Structure 1
Amino acid sequence: MSGMKDSGIEWVGEIPNEWEVLRLKYVAIVQTGNTPTKTDQSNYDESGILWVKPDNLNEFKPIVETKERISETGLSNARIAQPKATLVCCIGTVGKIGFSEEAVAYNQQINAVEFDEDNIFWKYGLYFLSTQQGQHQFYMNGNVVYILNSEKHKNISIVKPPIDIQQTITNYLDHKCGEIDSVIAAKEKTNALLKEHRQSIIYEAVTKGLDPTVPMKDSGIEWIGWIPMKWNLDRLKFHATLNPLVDTSSFQDEDEVSFVPMENLKSGYHFNSTVSYSMVKKGYTQFNTGDILIAKVTPCFENGNIAIASDLIRDTGFGSTEINVIRSSDMIVKYLFYYLQNPKFIERGIYDMFGVAGLKRLIPGYIIDSFYPIPTRAEQQAIADYLDHKCAEIDSIIAANNTTIEKLKEYRRSIIYETVTGKTDVYQV
C-alpha cells in the first residue's frame, strides 16, 4: 500500500489511499422484512423456508434453524433475503448481525443488506458492518425503542478495497476468527454445564429442603415429586398477588422513572433504563421494589428471565407488558424467587403455553394457581441463604468465563476492524 488517508468517517478512521468510501445505497439493496399475518396459519409450515428474527442472528455463524418457517403460501406475503445477505437488527438491539447460506424470510425487526457482488464481496461486507456500531447508532432514532429504518440504513458508509483484496481479507479473518471462536465455544460449553448444575441445585433445595434425613411424602404433583413430610402444599394465590396495583398518583408527566424493557430482564437480574413518566404511564406493567419480575412469553420464560425489582427511582418501576409481577404476602421473597427458577416448574409452564409458534405465552393463571411446596419461613430463609451462597460460587465462575469471552470477542472485533479498514496489511502478516 502506498500510504493512508482520512476516510472522513469517525468510526473508520484512516484507510489505504487506493480504497474508496461509498454509501450502502450505491453497492447494496437494503430492505426491511415483514411478518405474514399470524391469523392465517397457512402462512406457516414447519417444513417451509426459515423465518429469521433478531434472536436468530449469530454474527459469523450461519443461521441453520429457526422456531418458525414460512410456507409456500406465506412466501407471497413475506420478504426474502438471498443467500449470504447480511441481516442487521434494525429495532431494539440495532446493529446485531447475522447471515444464512440459504434464502430466508425475515421479520420487520431486520434489514437485509444484499451486496452487489461486483463491488462488495459478501463476507467482507458482513465483517465490515460488524464493526460499525457507531454508524448504526448515528442513523437510528427513537426513545424507548430504537429503530434504524431502511432509508437511513442506506446512508451508512462502507470502505471498498479492490475485490481481490476483499477476498484476501475475508480468508485471513475466517482463519483468525476461527481460532478465537474455538476458544469461545469451549468457554461457552463450560458455562452451559455450570448452569445445568446450578438448576439441579435449585430444584433439590426448593423441593427437598436441606436435610436429607427428614421423612418425605409424595406431593402428588409429578413435577414436584417428594417433599419433606412437614412441608405444606398450597396454591400461590393464597401467599402472593399476581400483577398487584401500584400507586403512581404522585408522579408528574415530566418525572423521570425506571423502565425495564423485556431485553433488560435477565436471568437473576435486570437493568433499568430511565424515561419520562408520560411515556410509560399507560399500557405498561407497573411494580415496586422487592416485587418479582418474570417473563411470560417465549423464549424469555424458557431462558429463566426473572429478577427481584431493585434500584428503582422512588421504589417504582415500569416495564414490558410481557412481564408478570409477583408480590409475596407471607413467603420469603428470595425463596419464591428461587422456586420460580426451578427447571421442572419452567418445563411444565412451557408445556401448557398457548399461542402461535414463536409467540407463546404462559396460561394466565399458571404461576398463581399452581401448587407450591411451602416450608416454614425459617426453612425458606435457610434455603434462600444456602442458594445465595451456592449460586454465587457458580455464578462467579460463569462470570469469570464471560469476562474471558468478552475479552476474546473484543480482541476479535479489533482484528476485524484493523483489517477491514486496511490498518493491518494482510499481505504483511
Structure 2
Amino acid sequence: MSDFQIETVSDFQVEARSDSQVKCIGISELDLYPEYKNSGVEWIGEIPKEWDTVRIKWLSPVKRGASPRPIDNPIYFDDDGDFSWVRIADVTSSERYLEETTQKLSKLGSSLSVKQYPGDFFVSIAGSVGKPIITKIKCCIHDGFVWFPYLKLNSEYLYYIFTSGEPYKGLGKLGTQLNLNTETVGNISIPLPPDEYEINEIVVFLDRETSRIDTLIEKKQRFIELLKEKRSALISHAVTKGLDPDVSMTNSGIEWVGKIPIGWHITKLKYLVNLRNEKTNNVINYSTKIALENIESFTGKLLNSYSDFEGDGTIIKEGDVLFNKLRPYLCKAVIAPSEGVAVGELLVFRIQETLLESKFLLYRILTHEFISLVDGATYGTKMPRASWEFIKNIEIPVPSLPEQQAIASYLDRETAQIDTLIEKIKQSIEHLKEYRTALISGAVTGKIDVRGTVCE
C-alpha cells in the first residue's frame, strides 16, 4: 500500500480559491481633486490646481559620489569601520531601504568618498540605472550614484516618485538603457503638493496600500512555489510508484528509488536508449534548432525551436529526448518535436521504442532524485558537466510499455492543469504589479485624492 496520496490539480484549485484575500483599495474608489491644471510636464500631465512642479536642481544641487583610488587597495577598507561601502549590487538587492552592505571603509577610505547618513536619499546612475534608495545606515557612495546635499523634501515621497519610473520618460528605459548624470537628474521636474502635511498623507497612503499589494503578491508567489513542489512530487511518485495506490510493492535494491510496484523491473539506461552523436556543421540548414535557452527548466517544455548558434550540432529526429549535461542546467530536458539539430551541451537519447516511452523517460529524468544523482557525478571546475559514461549506468525502474504510456498520459493531463493554474497566478501577479505602479503614479501626480484616507 503506498503511503503517498496522489492529489489532482482540483485540490490545489480549491486551495487557491480559499487563499485568504488581502483587501486593496481600487483606484476607481478614490476621489479626484476638485480642479486641475496643466503641469507643462509630459510625464506628469495635469495636476491639482494648488500643486506646483519643480526641477530637482531647484530643491538641491545634484552631486556624484566619489571613490578612493585605487579602489582595490586594502588600506581603504576596515571591517570595523564606521561607514559601509555601497556597491551597485547592494542597492540592486535592496528594496526601498539600504540596511547593510558587504564591506566597510576605513577612516582614510571614507574620507576620500561621499558620506551618507540614515534618511539620506540617493539614486543609481550605473548598473541598475535609475534605482532610488534611502539609507538606514552610515555609508559612502561612489560615482555610480548621485545624491542631493541640501534636500529638505520628504525622501519617502521622492522615493515613490522615482520608483514609478515615470520621471525617466524621454530619457530611456528604467535599467541599464537609461543615460543619467547630474545634469539629467537635476533637470527632472516633479509634482509638488502645497504643504508637507499633504505630502506625508500621500506617503502614508502609499505605504499602506503598497504593503497590502506586496503581501498579496508574496502570498501568490508562495502558492506558485507550493504548486511547483506538488508538481514535482506528483511526477516523482508516478514514475516510481505508478498510479495504483493498492499495488503491492517490493524493494528495488536502489537507495534513491526505494520501493517499486511488483512487476516493474530495474534497468540501466544504456539498455533503453542509444546516445546519438551524428554531428553536422551546417546547422543553418535546419529549421529546428534546439539550444539550452529554448528549454524551460523542470517542465520539459520547448519555448521555441530557434537558435542563432552557428557551431556544430547533433542531428535529432522526432521523439529523441534531449538532456543537458551542464551542472547549472541539468533540469533542462525536452522531447524533439521534429527532425532538426541540437546545439550546445545537449545529450541526445534515442529510445528503443519497444521498451520505453519518450514521455515517461522525460518525466523520469526531470525528477529531483535523478537530477541530484547526476549532479553528484559531474566533473570539472569552471563549468562542471555530466558524462554519458555515468548516466548510461544509472538504473531506473521501468514498468510495461502500456503502463508507461498510461503514466505519461496521466502526468500530461495533471501537469498541464497545474501549469495553467501557475500561469494564471503569474498573470495575476503582473496585474498587481501594474496596479501598484499605477497607484503610485496616480498618488504622486495628484490624479487621485488620497487626503483623508490615512485614518481608514
Asked whether the equivalents of residues 232 and 373 of structure 1 are also in contact (C-alpha less than 8 Å), the reply is: yes
Aligned to 1:327: 348
Q: Structure 1 stretches of 5 or more lacking a match? A: 38-42
The Cα of 1:333 is off from its aligned counterpart by: 3.9
Return the index of the structure with the highest Cα Rg.
Answer: 2
Specify which of 404, 407, 410 is matched with residue 428 of structure 2. Answer: 404
The Cα of 1:390 is off from its aligned counterpart by: 1.9
Tell me the SS of whatever aligns to 1:210: coil
> TM-score, structure 2 length as denominator?
0.60
Q: Distance between the aligned counterparts of 2:152 and 2:315, measured in 1?
A: 53
1:365 corresponds to 2:386 = yes
Q: Distance between the aligned counterparts of 1:297 and 1:54, measured in 2?
A: 28
Q: Distance between the aligned counterparts of 1:51 and 1:346, measured in 2?
A: 36
Aligned to 1:202: 235
5 Å-filtered alignment, 1:209-228, equals: 209-212=242-245, 213-221=247-255, 223-228=256-261
Asked whether the equivalents of residues 191 and 445 of structure 2 are also in contact (C-alpha less than 8 Å), the reply is: no
Tell me the SS of whatever aligns to 1:19: strand
Relative to structure 2, which stretch is displaced further, 181-190 or 81-90? 81-90
The Cα of 1:372 is off from its aligned counterpart by: 4.6
The Cα of 1:19 is off from its aligned counterpart by: 1.7
Aligned to 2:190: 159
1:180 corresponds to 2:213 = yes
The Cα of 1:391 is off from its aligned counterpart by: 1.6
Question: Percent of aligned pairs with the same residue?
Answer: 22
Q: Distance between the aligned counterparts of 1:133 and 1:295, measured in 2?
A: 44
The Cα of 1:196 is off from its aligned counterpart by: 1.9
Q: Structure 2 stretches of 5 or more lacking a match? A: 1-32
Q: Distance between the aligned counterparts of 2:321 and 2:382, measured in 1?
A: 21
* Counterpart residue identity of residue 233, structure 1: T
* Counterpart residue identity of residue 365, structure 1: A
Aligned to 2:177: 148
5 Å-filtered alignment, 1:51-200, equals: 53=89, 57=93, 59=95, 101=136, 114=147, 118=151, 121-132=154-165, 135=168, 139=172, 147-148=176-177, 151=180, 155=184, 157=188, 159=190, 161=192, 164=196, 166-200=199-233
Asked whether the equivalents of residues 20 and 160 of structure 1 are also in contact (C-alpha less than 8 Å), the reply is: yes
Q: Distance between the aligned counterparts of 1:29 and 1:339, measured in 2?
A: 55
Asked whether the equivalents of residues 54 and 89 of structure 1 are also in contact (C-alpha less than 8 Å), the reply is: no
Tell me the SS of whatever aligns to 2:52: coil
Specify which of 363, 367, 372 is matched with residue 338 of structure 1. Answer: 363
5 Å-filtered alignment, 1:379-394, equals: 379-394=403-418
Tell me the SS of whatever aligns to 1:329: strand
Asked whether the equivalents of residues 85 and 114 of structure 1 are also in contact (C-alpha less than 8 Å), the reply is: yes
Q: Distance between the aligned counterparts of 1:52 and 1:126, measured in 2?
A: 17
Describe the shift of the 1:400–1:316 C-alpha distance in structure 2 as closer, same or farther (beyond 3 A): same
Deviations 1:132-168 (A, max 9, x none): 2794896369xxxx94366579746462536935544
The Cα of 1:285 is off from its aligned counterpart by: 8.8
Specify which of 234, 250, 258 is matched with residue 268 of structure 2. Answer: 234
Q: Distance between the aligned counterparts of 1:337 and 1:81, measured in 2?
A: 56
* Counterpart residue identity of residue 362, structure 2: F
Aligned to 1:18: 52
Asked whether the equivalents of residues 115 and 125 of structure 1 are also in contact (C-alpha less than 8 Å), the reply is: no
Name which structure has the greater RCO, CA cutoff 8 Å, separation 6+. 2
The Cα of 1:389 is off from its aligned counterpart by: 1.6
Aligned to 1:308: 334
Aligned to 1:281: 310
Q: Distance between the aligned counterparts of 2:125 and 2:315, measured in 1?
A: 30
Deviations 1:278-321 (A, max 9, x none): xx436x999978764659465x76xx5x3637899x95687xx7
Q: Distance between the aligned counterparts of 1:272 and 1:115, measured in 2?
A: 47
Aligned to 1:248: 282
The count of corresponding residues between Structure 1 and Structure 2 is: 384
Q: Distance between the aligned counterparts of 1:118 and 1:286, measured in 2?
A: 61
* Counterpart residue identity of residue 177, structure 2: L
> TM-score, structure 1 length as denominator?
0.63
Q: Distance between the aligned counterparts of 2:60 and 2:342, measured in 1?
A: 42
